[in-house]
Amino acid sequence: MSAKEDFCYGFTKGLPIALGYVPVSLTFGLMAVSGGIPAWTAILISLTNLTSAGQFAGTNLILENAGLLEITLTTFIINIRYLLMSLSLSQKLGPEITLTQRLIFGFGITDETFSVASMEEKKLTSAYMFGLVSGPIMGWTLGTALGSVIGSVLPEAIGNAMGIALYAMFIAIIVPPAKRSKPVLNIVLISIGINLVLKYVPFLGFISSGFRVILATIAGAGIGASLWPVTDNSAGAAQNQSNMDGGDVSRCREH
């Protein structure tokens, strides 16, 4: 595929993510503005942070007048999981991709763009990555703008219900591969089980939510790697055909 087609293909893969981001970022804009942060600052946070859990937590701490160190540390801990994702992605990037390109599209690595990229069969090109992340960046920013402007007129019941959007997207990403691959299903269940233990067993309560995510992920993926090692490209996955294949290249070309 040419670079243009790659970009286009990536962009169509990113579109459903972008649309799914709107209700989530709208909720963020709503929360920030109702807490007393100006709309432009809320938009700036989304544009520069581009993350859900981290910026929700960080913004809450800003609203609570927490210290800069606490804000920075909390955000960092929640975001350490990106190290794992980025490391995982490093194995799928072609060696021809330059440092500058990596520095730019790396900004757009989120839970969702990472998941979609890592489920591609082939090596990833920079054009694909740029295409993939551009829609979600726009969706996240525009949703925040929308939420901070019209949020106040939105009925509370609808705003509350929208809180589930982010998680529903996660479910849409993991269920299809888990349906096809027994190891994937087992790993998801094991990781969740470990997460529940870390969260609810009383004497483990000192572990912050960010560290909990990292520990449960490492343990779950580690147990999976030991029990069901992936020996070739086909094995891990069953995931290859992600459920977002609706966005195929041919449709992209028409535009």
Partner 1 sequence: MPRTLIAVFLMALVTYIPRVLPIVVFRREIKSVWLKSFLRYVPYAVLGVLTFPDILYSTGEFLPSLAGTVAALFLAYKGKSLLPVASGAILTAYIAGLILHI
- Of residues 210 through 249, those in contact with partner 1 by CB under 8 A are 212-213, 216-217, 220-222, 224-226, 228-231, 236-237, 239, 243-244, 246
| Cβ 205 to partner 1 shortest distance, Å | 15
195, two tokens: 């997460």
Taking CB under 8 A as the rule, does residue 32 contact partner 1? no
* Euclidean distance between CA atoms 212 and 246, whole angstroms: 34
Residue 193: other Cβ atoms inside 10 A:
13
> Given the complex with partner 1, which of 2 and 98 has the nearer CB atom?
98
Residues between 136 and 175 that touch partner 1 (CB under 8 A): 157-158, 160-175
> Given the complex with partner 1, which of 8 and 89 has the nearer CB atom?
89
Among 25, 115, 125, 141, indicate the residue that binds partner 1 (CB under 8 A): 115
Q: In 3D, which of 78, 85, 92, 112 has the Cα closest to residue 218?
A: 85
| Cβ 6 to partner 1 shortest distance, Å | 17
Taking CB under 8 A as the rule, does residue 26 contact partner 1? no
| Cβ 206 to partner 1 shortest distance, Å | 18
> Given the complex with partner 1, which of 146 and 187 has the nearer CB atom?
187
- Determine contact, residues 236/2, Cβ cutoff 8 Å: no
Taking CB under 8 A as the rule, does residue 205 contact partner 1? no
* Euclidean distance between CA atoms 242 and 17, whole angstroms: 13
Q: State the first-to-last Cα distance of the chain, in angstroms, to the nearest integer.
A: 17
224, two tokens: 């999976």
> Given the complex with partner 1, which of 2 and 124 has the nearer CB atom?
124
What's at 58, amino acid-wise? Answer: G
- Determine contact, residues 218/187, Cβ cutoff 8 Å: no
Taking CB under 8 A as the rule, does residue 204 contact partner 1? no
How far apart, in Å, are the Cα atoms of 42 and each of 29, 134, 146, 228, 249?
6, 19, 11, 44, 35
Among 2, 91, 206, 254, indicate the residue that binds partner 1 (CB under 8 A): 91
Taking CB under 8 A as the rule, does residue 252 contact partner 1? no
Among 39, 149, 188, 249, indicate the residue that binds partner 1 (CB under 8 A): 188
| Cβ 199 to partner 1 shortest distance, Å | 7
Residues between 35 and 64 that touch partner 1 (CB under 8 A): 37, 41, 44-45, 48-51, 53-55, 58, 61-62
Residue position matching structure tokens 């993926």: 221
* Euclidean distance between CA atoms 175 and 167, whole angstroms: 12
How far apart, in Å, are the Cα atoms of 204 and each of 76, 126, 207?
21, 42, 6
* Euclidean distance between CA atoms 172 and 161, whole angstroms: 17
> Given the complex with partner 1, which of 2 and 241 has the nearer CB atom?
241
